[in-house]
Chain A
Amino acid sequence: MAHEKLKELSRRLEQSRQARSADESSRREEGSALGLATRAITELVVGIAVAMGVGWLLDRWLGTKPWLMLILLPFGFAAGVVNVMRLSQSKQADALMGGKAGSEPARPVLDDDED
């Protein structure tokens, strides 16, 4: 008896899950797009800021005023760019942009006959 009830429940759960999955996955994509965007921006800004900060401190310590900061600045920028490049090749970015072009749209068919 209880077993029957559970089966019925899991059937209904599966149904509503399918009906909702498309909607939910698009919402999740929006969220992770925002996540990727904030990651990319901080990576760029922080790369430059940290390299400049370390350069400035070393300069103050060694008395070589602007030079180490100026040398480290492009390296910091490059590190930020490298991190963003890695980010764009990560699993998260792939999942968001569908990896290789065109392999993504997996939602319409199931959804259409439900509605």
Chain B
Amino acid sequence: MATTTTEHSTGGEAAQSGEGHSAIDPIHQFEIEPIIPIHIGGLDLSLTNSGLWALIAVALVSLLMLTAPTRLIPTRLQSVAESLYDLVFGMTEEVLGPQGRSYFPFVFTLFAFILAANLLGLIPGAFTVTSHIIVTLALALVVFIGATAIGFIKHGAGYFRLFVPAGVPQVLLPFVVPIEIISYFIRPFSLSIRLFANMMAGHMMLKVIAGFVIMLGVLAGWLPLMALVAIYALELLVAVLQAYVFALLTCLYLNDALHVDH
């Protein structure tokens, strides 16, 4: 669903920019602008709007997790922090088993950062850090390279067994092994493209429909406005869900690295 809406939205965008409505440009929200220019050597290390919102996400999560009071009967803020912790802890334990506890901090950090970035992006005027594929691909590559390294450290060359499923006849191996290798190497791409496409498609859809509200004016504008409210609710669900899916798949990939022969 998400990928098809991307195409629809880009189509709509092309038609609109053809008409010259510069105010309703759904791509504009993804533009990266330097806020504090920093140039060291030949490198452009400027703090951009993307970097700023990533920092805000980190600050917000740190604030929530570190300063929440630890009362027996939790305050609202504390119960938010605790249920986030519970959710991710339950997931890592379920997928990785008790020995996966050492990976919990990593999975939780990923989950909390992506969740905060996704949710902050839904604030009107905010920048969605996770709507850029370079950000999500970097996160996914950390997971992929990390999991692969862990697999080779734990199993040595035995990790290659992942590409040779048990019980496959010799004749089929020339076909099965390339398929397994490809399906292993597409992991970081499916992980990053899923998150990025969901966030970008959702935000473009919101912008396009918000454009309809303005174009149709007071007379008929309330119709897309109602749709906008519904889609915004859906986007809230997607923001939480995609953060969860990212963390879940991180666990599954780590599980493959820990238990090659399951």
Q: Identify the A interface with B (CB < 8 A).
A: 6, 9, 31, 34-35, 37-39, 41-43, 45-47, 49-51, 72, 75-76, 78-80, 82-83, 90-92
| 10 closest residue pairs by CB, A with B | A79-B183, A79-B182, A46-B190, A42-B194, A50-B186, A42-B190, A78-B179, A35-B245, A79-B179, A46-B189
- Bound-state CA distance A63–B190 (Å) is 28
Complex Cα–Cα for A78 and B186 (A): 12
Main secondary structure of the interface of B (DSSP, over half): helix
Residue numbers in B under 8 Å from A41 (CB-CB): 1-3
Inter-subunit contact A45/B3 (CB<8 Å): yes
Q: What are 5 A-B contacts with C-beta separation under 8 Å?
A: A38-B2, A39-B190, A46-B190, A79-B182, A91-B95
- Beta-carbon contact of A47 and B182 below 8 Å: yes
- Give which listed residue, A6, A42, A82, A91, contacts B179 with CB less than 8 A: A82
Main secondary structure of the interface of A (DSSP, over half): helix
Alpha-carbon distance A42/B252, docked complex (angstroms)? 16
Residue of A whose beta carbon sits closest to that of B72: A6
Q: Mark B30-57, 1 if CB is under 8 A from A, else 0.
A: 0000000000000000000000000000
Contact A46 B186 (CB under 8 A): yes
Q: Is the CB of B178 within 8 A of A75?
A: yes
Known: A35-B248, A47-B183. 13 other contacts (CB 8 A): A31-B237, A38-B2, A42-B3, A42-B193, A42-B194, A43-B186, A45-B3, A47-B182, A47-B190, A75-B182, A79-B179, A83-B186, A83-B190
